[in-house]
Amino acid sequence: MPIEYKNVYWLWLSLAVIVLDQVTKQLVASGMQVYEVIPLLPFLNLTRMHNTGAAFSILSGASPLFFVALGLIVSIGVLVWLRMNRTGERLVAIGLVCIQGGALGNVIDRATRGYVVDFIDFHVAGWHWPAFNVADSAIVIGAGLLMLDMVLQHKHQEAD
């Protein structure tokens, strides 16, 4: 059975992630000062942060161009993987475009600002998870969907 290459249909979701990410970052950047905190719930604040590094501010001294190049490489890799993915494997396709949308959302920040705007601040008993944004959320959701697909595939193979 030949592989069909119709997964490009899901690229609209990548675009939706990018738009939602950029709109929310612009709202935060235009309406809040850096480090300003707006409490929303007992465990959730809006807190404007500037992240010059990767996840958890790793490599914060690296050039924004390094992260732009890395994000573009990831995006190209996702497009190749998406094209090679079988049409019926929706979890993989959705996971990939979520990762791509998140990566490109953060690439846009790094290319235009030199840093990524983070603003979602979860905390419990004085302990704060590192601030993140919509793009970061999409990347985590996408990775989770890929892992879920792997687990489901493994269980399906065991049942055969």
Supply the residues annotated as catalytic: 118, 136
Report the Cα–Cα distance between both ends of the chain, in Å, rounded: 19
- Which residue carries 């302990």 as its tokens? 127
The amino acid that residue 125 corresponds to is A
Alpha-carbon gap, residue 147 to 149, rounded angstroms: 5
Pairing state of beta strands 127-128 and 44-51? Answer: unpaired
| Long-range contact set of residues 62-65: C-beta below 8 Å, sequence gap at least 24 | 64/110, 64/111, 64/114, 64/115
